[in-house]
A and B are shown apart, each in its own frame.
Chain A
Amino acid sequence: MILANLTTADLTERLTSRAGLALGIGPFHLRLTSDVAAITPLLQQLYRHYPLTDQVIRDFHLHLSGSALHRRWLRPQVQLLVDGRAPFEPLPAAHHLPALEWGMNWCIALRCNHLLMLHAAVVARGEHAIVLPAWPGHGKSTLCAALIHSGWRLLSDEFGLVRPADGALLPLPRLIPIKNAAVTALQTFAPSAEFGPTFYATRKGDLAHLCPPGESIAQSDQIARPRWLIFPRWQAGAALNLQPVSPTQAFLRVATNAFNYETLGGSAFTLVTEMVRSCNCYSLTYSALPAAVAALETLT
């Protein structure tokens, strides 16, 4: 059963009840409650493919809270509570979905040290995966979004999860936040891409969320193996340039782009070494999405 199977009344009832809405997101189980009514239609649109879960142990307990009555007229805010505490400053009330997404990122980044977490997008065909590690602003999300509308399966856009036991990549398909300027380029490239509303002036600028494909979510339990390491960089007007990267350089770029490389110590070192060994490594400078996707098609 997926979220789309719930009626609006059912969904509202779950979100406002003590039991909450329990969803399976990749390997994690989330319990969400909310007193912000505006989030409900967004969940119905962008979260509709996620399976409802009856797992008793939930990895993250989140509550999205609107302003107290006396504040509603003054400067309405929204706050995300994790286990009853507020680790973040409140955001303007209109930024409810970004608050939820960032809160979830925070939980994953801080708590999931049983896995190596790369800061990378991961897409796959069958079990062969392209890992795309990049700094923010290097066009990783946009390229990832283009690839999943070109026959690649989405494993993750932000957290490349590596299982220490065998180096396998675990899927964690989530909404993909896309900056306003790139939304048009993506809509031209893939008219079927489905976006949520635009949130203006967030701390990451104006952005909209791309709905993760249902098929990718349905295959959340199917691992993949790293096969290509691509370091993307978007540059306005740049000609397409695909260059091999030396293994040492690839190692450094993967390790310095991980959330918890240091926390995992020697095991992270071994995992990244193995990943570099099993991958062909390239840097990719691009400005136009069709050319970049075509270059990766030829490569793979």
Chain B
Amino acid sequence: MPIHWRSSHIAVLTAKWEADDERVIYHPASNETHYLNPLGALVLDTLAAAPAGITLDDLLQTIASALADDTIAPADLRQYLTGLLARFAELGLATAVATA
């Protein structure tokens, strides 16, 4: 039973500007405003694009190819993403679901 991650089904308001990769989102359920750096924004977009959920391995692959940066070690990226997903879960922006 691999764990799948998906973004919460709660709509968020997004403010982003053309020149910026970073962005600010507003999460109505919690009334919290979050700042996302370019990588955080990319991860949230990837989760939102997979409504059925995505495993950490698949997420890692998608992000690595989008970044196309050889200087980042895969192990470091995995650790970074694990931490980021746990943070998203704590904030209610993403949920871990166990699927068969």
A and B touching (Cβ–Cβ under 8 A): yes
B-contact bits for A233-266, CB 8 A (1 contact / 0 none):
0000000000000111001100100000110011
- Chain B residues within 8 Å of A, Cβ to Cβ: 13, 15-17, 19-20, 22-24, 26, 28, 31, 33, 35
Find chain A residues with CB under 8 A from B17 CB: 246-248, 276-277
Say if the beta carbon of A67 comes within 8 Å of chain B.
Answer: no
Complex Cα gap A170–B61 (Å): 51
Complex Cα gap A185–B60 (Å): 58
B23 touches A269 (CB 8 A): no
- Chain A residues within 8 Å of B, Cβ to Cβ: 246-248, 251-252, 255, 261-262, 265-266, 269-270, 273, 276-277
Q: Which A-B residue pairs are the 3 nearest by beta carbons? A: A269-B26, A247-B17, A273-B15
12 A-B pairs with CB atoms under 8 Å apart are A246-B20, A247-B15, A247-B17, A248-B20, A248-B35, A251-B15, A252-B24, A265-B28, A266-B26, A269-B13, A269-B26, A277-B17
Find chain B residues with CB under 8 A from A247 CB: 15, 17, 19-20
Closest beta carbon of chain A to B22's beta carbon, Å: 5
Complex Cα gap A261–B33 (Å): 10
Closest beta carbon of chain B to A248's beta carbon, Å: 5
Find chain B residues with CB under 8 A from A251 CB: 15, 24
Find chain B residues with CB under 8 A from A277 CB: 17
A248 touches B31 (CB 8 A): no
Complex Cα gap A261–B19 (Å): 25
Dominant secondary structure at the A interface? helix
A269 touches B20 (CB 8 A): no
Contact A269-B35, Cβ < 8 Å, known A248-B23, A248-B24: no
A265 touches B31 (CB 8 A): yes
Complex Cα gap A183–B43 (Å): 51
A266 touches B22 (CB 8 A): no
Find chain B residues with CB under 8 A from A269 CB: 13, 15, 24, 26, 33
Interface centre among B17, B19, B22, B33 (most CB of A within 10 A): B33
Find chain B residues with CB under 8 A from A270 CB: 13
B33 touches A246 (CB 8 A): no
Contact A255-B33, Cβ < 8 Å, known A248-B24, A266-B26, A266-B28: yes
